[in-house]
A and B are shown apart, each in its own frame.
Chain A
């Protein structure tokens, strides 16, 4: 219970669509969403598979709490092998699509093979079918969403789709649902497009029930919503300022990676911060931020709904961008702003709109532009390569121009679509790529927040803040304050965060609840909904099992301990300003201990002992 116990299997090669019962034994070991989909994935896909070949599969999976009244219970994840990293990809999204899938009666949808021609999947409760999408191919996310709503004459249809970036092969393409919510990282959209699958359109009216103990569930979810409301971060900070509340905080502590991580503090941070989004504009007196917004079931509502100044150069003659849409969140604002040296809030908002409009991960995109800007300033690329664009740090005009190209897969945008690692190699400077396992960094400099160095190096999907957000502890003091400049104790901290996060990502809930909640708050909600007993220890063990399973897949896919590293810049060039002055990322002081605590060999391989302890498949 908690699960609908049905999965939809879609074979794109032969066009068949069929219903299967959920493997309940796996659900008991892996809970749902991230964990359960990974269990299916490793059972069905050869780790050596070509990520963009027909033998890769793509799973869209909900958690047992998706579609319920538990706060933030609207999440789904996309699992596949990543074309960017060659590791497992697992990207999580909010919005409304996940809950709609559950309302239609499905725990997950497994896509396999490759369609000979463009198609989309239409699901109306039990009825699911592939339909031609020739007229949708070549269209943006926003156009596709509108066309599907028109075609089905159903305003309540929920749509997830890829844009032109994915069709053009951009390696960090996202799947966008509900116009501006993204399964963003690791190129899951690129995989979707490689299967000639343009969109998934779902209408579910069956409702979500099957709760083990409904009265207890309603009581415990009500109590836990109160915990979120009473917490300073989830009750006030996030609704008011969104994740952008971090911009000035992280800059202050000298951990805001700036100009392709050459520096750790950005002089223009204030101009692109949450506070700036609240400031009335000179032109029309309106602030950038119109309102905050919640995803399905979310009582935090950190989402940003914004407009761009109509007089701004990016949209001056483009009324189609004058309305409201998804605004800047911290990671996107950082990658598009401080990392490229651009401090123009309207330009960043426009570029963020474009990332949603055509389905690109703004973190990887912004970081790749930052690398390209450094290549340009070093003379490794010239205006001949860029088609005349003066791609210098701080140029909002250049940022806007290359975004339009990359989103649409045109000109120099093709090269930017390769991602930072491949771009820097192409132009002979691999050392300028700020990536781990070929995935670009997010917005925390590990010289100033040491735990994040270990987080990035060991993340199962390449550099990522959402695998273990030790910023919580090291900067915000949640659940306990640790010294961000210290490496001692960080292996333990990172493991605790990695395992807890894997569990939360498998439940249907949002990781942002963990500013207020621990597994002590989450386990009782799972326990009231799901078959069996779900004490905290079991939920934590599920998280640890998922981490090991993902690692196991990556090792079988050919990654090694040597991939658990950071770019030389972070290991050798010390921070030159702020509290971290003189510090480099102390990865070598943390990694051996981390391996030991994980029960791995000195070169980072899983042991038989670990496999048997967690009952991992052979």
Chain B
């Protein structure tokens, strides 16, 4: 079963455990500024929204890379950076419509979410279930269930 990250902003409290988990997994440090997932705060609206790569099937970043440094992980479906090949040209950061590929000035390479090879640490660390790693073909299941629960079949029958 292919899985994908599923984000429910309504459950996010803005605690940044996901950003720390991501940076720790990838950089060995608790460093939100180097996280592949970012939580945005919309203060006036009182909303917190985690955002990261959706792993496009036909990925713009992968298409744009001139040195084939972004490759498909056949197991997880993620698009992974091959550090040895990346030359830090940043074309992929321009190509990505969502801004989820970013340059890391410390390493001179780009960074993006690689689903931690199938065990995404952001989802592990999220205390509220705002970030989950679920069946990629059924990310709408929870919402369907909610609406299904609101369907008043008894009244319709009567």
Whether B46 and A209, one on each chain, are in contact in the complex, defined by CB atoms closer than 8 angstroms, is no
Whether B31 and A207, one on each chain, are in contact in the complex, defined by CB atoms closer than 8 angstroms, is yes
Residue numbers in A under 8 Å from B47 (CB-CB) = 291
Which stretch in A298-306, A362-370, A469-477, A485-493 binds the other chain? Answer: A298-306
Whether A297 and B16, one on each chain, are in contact in the complex, defined by CB atoms closer than 8 angstroms, is yes
Select from chain B the residue with minimum beta-carbon distance to A239: B13
Does any Cβ of A come within 8 Å of B118's Cβ?
A: no
Residue numbers in B under 8 Å from A96 (CB-CB) = 16
Cα distance A618–B58 in the bound complex, in angstroms? 71
- What mask results when residues 278 to 316 of chain A are scored 1 for a CB within 8 Å of chain B, else 0? 000000000000111111111101010111000000000
Whether A69 and B125, one on each chain, are in contact in the complex, defined by CB atoms closer than 8 angstroms, is yes
Cα distance A325–B42 in the bound complex, in angstroms? 10
Whether B21 and A69, one on each chain, are in contact in the complex, defined by CB atoms closer than 8 angstroms, is yes
Does any Cβ of A come within 8 Å of B88's Cβ?
A: no
Select from chain B the residue with minimum beta-carbon distance to A306: B46
Residue numbers in B under 8 Å from A68 (CB-CB) = 20, 30
Whether A291 and B46, one on each chain, are in contact in the complex, defined by CB atoms closer than 8 angstroms, is yes
- What mask results when residues 175 to 209 of chain A are scored 1 for a CB within 8 Å of chain B, else 0? 00001000000000000000000000000111111
Nearest CB on B from A138, distance (A): 23
Residue numbers in B under 8 Å from A292 (CB-CB) = 13
Chain A residues 234-268 with CB under 8 Å of chain B are 239
Chain B residues 1-51 with CB under 8 Å of chain A are 13-17, 20-21, 23-24, 27-34, 43-48
Whether B128 and A297, one on each chain, are in contact in the complex, defined by CB atoms closer than 8 angstroms, is no
Chain A residues 324-338 with CB under 8 Å of chain B are 324-325
Cα distance A290–B30 in the bound complex, in angstroms? 30
Residue from the list B16, B31, B48 in contact with A206, Cβ < 8 A? B31
Residue from the list A179, A209, A295 in contact with B30, Cβ < 8 A? A209
Whether A324 and B46, one on each chain, are in contact in the complex, defined by CB atoms closer than 8 angstroms, is yes
Cα distance A55–B19 in the bound complex, in angstroms? 41
Chain A residues 94-134 with CB under 8 Å of chain B are 96, 99, 103
Cα distance A299–B14 in the bound complex, in angstroms? 10
Residue numbers in B under 8 Å from A293 (CB-CB) = 13-14, 46, 48
Residue numbers in A under 8 Å from B14 (CB-CB) = 293-294
Residue numbers in B under 8 Å from A298 (CB-CB) = 13, 15
Nearest CB on A from B51, distance (A): 14
Whether B13 and A323, one on each chain, are in contact in the complex, defined by CB atoms closer than 8 angstroms, is no
- A209 and B20 in contact (CB under 8 A), knowing A298-B15, A323-B45, A324-B43? no
Nearest CB on A from B73, distance (A): 24
Whether B23 and A207, one on each chain, are in contact in the complex, defined by CB atoms closer than 8 angstroms, is yes
Q: Is the interface of A mostly helix, strand, loop or mixed?
A: loop
Q: Determine which residue in B13, B17, B48 has the highest number of CB atoms from chain A within 10 A of its CB, and name it.
A: B13
Residue numbers in B under 8 Å from A43 (CB-CB) = none
Residue from the list B21, B30, B48 in contact with A207, Cβ < 8 A? B30
Cα distance A88–B27 in the bound complex, in angstroms? 40
Does any Cβ of B come within 8 Å of A225's Cβ?
A: yes
Whether B24 and A290, one on each chain, are in contact in the complex, defined by CB atoms closer than 8 angstroms, is no
Cα distance A294–B20 in the bound complex, in angstroms? 14
Residue from the list A67, A205, A306 in contact with B34, Cβ < 8 A? A205
Whether B24 and A69, one on each chain, are in contact in the complex, defined by CB atoms closer than 8 angstroms, is yes
Q: Determine which residue in A208, A239, A303 has the highest number of CB atoms from chain B within 10 A of its CB, and name it.
A: A208
Whether A296 and B15, one on each chain, are in contact in the complex, defined by CB atoms closer than 8 angstroms, is yes
Does any Cβ of B come within 8 Å of A607's Cβ?
A: no
Nearest CB on A from B122, distance (A): 12
Cα distance A12–B16 in the bound complex, in angstroms? 34
Residue numbers in B under 8 Å from A69 (CB-CB) = 17, 20-21, 24, 30, 125
Residue numbers in A under 8 Å from B27 (CB-CB) = 207
Whether A296 and B28, one on each chain, are in contact in the complex, defined by CB atoms closer than 8 angstroms, is no
Q: Determine which residue in B17, B24, B32 has the highest number of CB atoms from chain A within 10 A of its CB, and name it.
A: B32
Cα distance A294–B29 in the bound complex, in angstroms? 21
Cα distance A14–B135 in the bound complex, in angstroms? 61
Does any Cβ of B come within 8 Å of A610's Cβ?
A: no
Residue from the list B15, B23, B43, B46 in contact with A294, Cβ < 8 A? B15
Residue from the list A229, A291, A307 in contact with B127, Cβ < 8 A? A229
Does any Cβ of B come within 8 Å of A615's Cβ?
A: no
Whether A290 and B46, one on each chain, are in contact in the complex, defined by CB atoms closer than 8 angstroms, is yes
Cα distance A68–B32 in the bound complex, in angstroms? 10
Does any Cβ of B come within 8 Å of A576's Cβ?
A: no
Residue numbers in A under 8 Å from B44 (CB-CB) = 323-324
Whether A204 and B46, one on each chain, are in contact in the complex, defined by CB atoms closer than 8 angstroms, is no
Chain B residues 102-138 with CB under 8 Å of chain A are 125, 127-128
Cα distance A307–B47 in the bound complex, in angstroms? 13
Does any Cβ of B come within 8 Å of A156's Cβ?
A: yes
Residue from the list B17, B21, B31, B45 in contact with A208, Cβ < 8 A? B31
Whether B28 and A204, one on each chain, are in contact in the complex, defined by CB atoms closer than 8 angstroms, is no
Nearest CB on B from A520, distance (A): 21
Select from chain A the residue with minimum beta-carbon distance to B32: A103
Cα distance A296–B13 in the bound complex, in angstroms? 10
Nearest CB on A from B17, distance (A): 6
Cα distance A218–B47 in the bound complex, in angstroms? 29
- What mask results when residues 73 to 103 of chain A are scored 1 for a CB within 8 Å of chain B, else 0? 0000000000000000000000010010001
Select from chain A the residue with minimum beta-carbon distance to B27: A207
Residue from the list B21, B33, B128 in contact with A204, Cβ < 8 A? B33
Whether B127 and A296, one on each chain, are in contact in the complex, defined by CB atoms closer than 8 angstroms, is no
Nearest CB on B from A265, distance (A): 33
Whether A103 and B16, one on each chain, are in contact in the complex, defined by CB atoms closer than 8 angstroms, is no
Cα distance A103–B16 in the bound complex, in angstroms? 14
Whether B33 and A296, one on each chain, are in contact in the complex, defined by CB atoms closer than 8 angstroms, is no
- A209 and B45 in contact (CB under 8 A), knowing A292-B13, A294-B14? no
Cα distance A71–B30 in the bound complex, in angstroms? 13
Residue from the list A103, A206, A207, A299 in contact with B15, Cβ < 8 A? A299
Q: Determine which residue in B14, B17, B45, B48 has the highest number of CB atoms from chain A within 10 A of its CB, and name it.
A: B14
Cα distance A276–B133 in the bound complex, in angstroms? 36
Q: Determine which residue in B16, B46, B125 has the highest number of CB atoms from chain A within 10 A of its CB, and name it.
A: B46
Q: A-B pairs with the 3 shortest C-beta distances?
A: A207-B31, A207-B29, A294-B15
A–B pairs, 8, beta carbons within 8 Å = A69-B30, A207-B23, A207-B31, A208-B30, A290-B46, A293-B46, A293-B48, A299-B17
A103-B31, A325-B43 given; name 16 further pairs at CB < 8 Å: A69-B20, A71-B17, A99-B32, A207-B29, A207-B33, A207-B34, A218-B24, A239-B13, A290-B45, A290-B46, A291-B47, A291-B48, A297-B17, A299-B17, A303-B13, A323-B46
